[in-house]
Structure 1
């Protein structure tokens, strides 16, 4: 089977997952891509595929997007692209997943930390981090999803608004990668299959989410975010303290 068909199917299933629970698809996809692609192609192809996945998921839930949050996130994203774009080849991000994981765990389950961080937590800063770090580590959607899960009470508003944020984050990657000379002209067939798979997956995932129980799905999002965060923590800890 051609790689285009394989990655098209994988894009479809990861997009269904993201359509239902709002995250996870991008992280799963970026974990799979190294099996099939040259390292230099992973972040650009992942970015375009996830742009298709998130923008289509947003369009399928357009009435649920909280547009009032857009200006702050967009302003932070522009600053993040400028800062991290300049540092792209000179920054080490080896331990970034540890701090993202710790932030998610504490923000979701510690009332004291949540109350403390709320004084400094805003969508300008979330936009800066999510979009800026996305240039380097790929899937950073849980950063904003963590905040949205605390502030919004509807699963559809949470996931639709998170999709809008991620659409901005992935759009911002395109001029940066063009500026540093990344060319995907030889991989257009692959991109077409992956984009089609992502859009179809968003459609199916959104339909499944619309019939899901609101409270149960929000709790599931929190639990799955926490599992992902714990995995991030232990991955970095195992690098620092190898277990024999």
Structure 2
């Protein structure tokens, strides 16, 4: 009976593992804003066909981020989300056209370098960073997510210089990435990917992810602001270095 609800080639034990990973990664992302999407991508890459990883990951992340956005909606800065969305729409259109043409390793390298620069180098006060900068960043990150799947750290690095309070940062990030992954799902659907066989498993992963979001949100409220900033920088650094490693083929 369970086999009938699962996509071809996905064993019940693998499905249960992915459901558990969805809970853990959603909890981590709700507490720290990033990291869960990359971990979820890694879990999918190690268990399902490479040809479906990015598309399935996108739909799972839509469900995860919708739950996180809803729970933390009171703290989201919606004008920033609107500007990010404007760029993301353009980025999704461009990404759908280029998805089979640009080398993934180049995009990984650029993404890793950008994250490290935005995290550690002193940043001058740039007029328009919260307006046009978010539009451009939304477009670039949405193009990149069509190829590499998880760009939450890119979006986090884009928001970090704006000096948001921790709950504003996490909630605004959740709303931005919800829009980004939703646009990616529409793009892959337009390119012919069929999600129907994956819907039962994805639905179970989304439900377990929402439970993880509730746990992670509780942890966020208890985490001191100073330690939160240290944790964010540490996570971004690890992600950035790992992206450069993958870009170098190591």
Structures share a fold, TM > 0.5?
yes
2: CA distance, partners of 1:174 / 1:98: 24
Q: Tell me if the contact between 2:105 and 2:246 (Cα under 8 Å) persists in the aligned partners.
A: no
* Cα distance in 2, alignment partners of residues 86 and 92 from structure 1: 14
Aligned ranges 1:46-195 → 2 under 5 Å: 46-111=57-122, 114-115=123-124, 118=126, 121=129, 122-195=133-206
Equivalenced residue count is 236
**Match of residue 7, structure 1, among 14, 18, 28:** 18
Residues 30-72 of structure 1: CA distance to partner in whole angstroms, max 9, x if unpaired?
Answer: 1111222111221111111111111111111111101111221
**CA shift at 1:161, angstroms?**
0.3
Distance in 1 (CA, whole Å) between partners of 2:134 and 2:230 is 23
Shift of 1:182: 0.7
Unaligned runs of 5+ in 1: none
Shift of 1:82: 1.0
Q: What CA distance in whole angstroms lies between the structure 2 residues aligned with 1:7 and 1:139?
A: 16
Q: Tell me if 1:236 matches 2:229.
A: no
Where structure 2 has 5 or more consecutive residues not aligned to the other structure, the ranges are 1-11
Report the Cα distance in structure 1 between the residues aligned to 2:34 and 2:107, rounded to whole angstroms.
18
Q: CA deviation at 1:154?
A: 1.1
Cα distance in 1 between the residues matched to 2:128 and 2:95: 21
Measure how far apart 1:119 and its partner are.
Answer: 5.8
Return the TM-score normalized by structure 2: 0.89
CA contact (8 A) 1:5 1:193 kept: no
Q: In 1, are the aligned partners of 2:96 and 2:191 still within 8 Å (CA)?
A: no
Report which stretch shifted further, 189-198 or 155-164. Answer: 189-198
1:184, distance to aligned residue in structure 2 (A): 2.0
Q: Structure 1 residues 188 and 106 mapped into 2: Cα distance closer, same or farther (>3 Å)?
A: closer
Q: Distance in 2 between matches of 1:234 and 1:115?
A: 28
CA RMSD of aligned residues (A): 1.7
Cα offset, 1:153, TM superposition: 3.5
Structure 2 equivalent of residue 220 of structure 1: 231
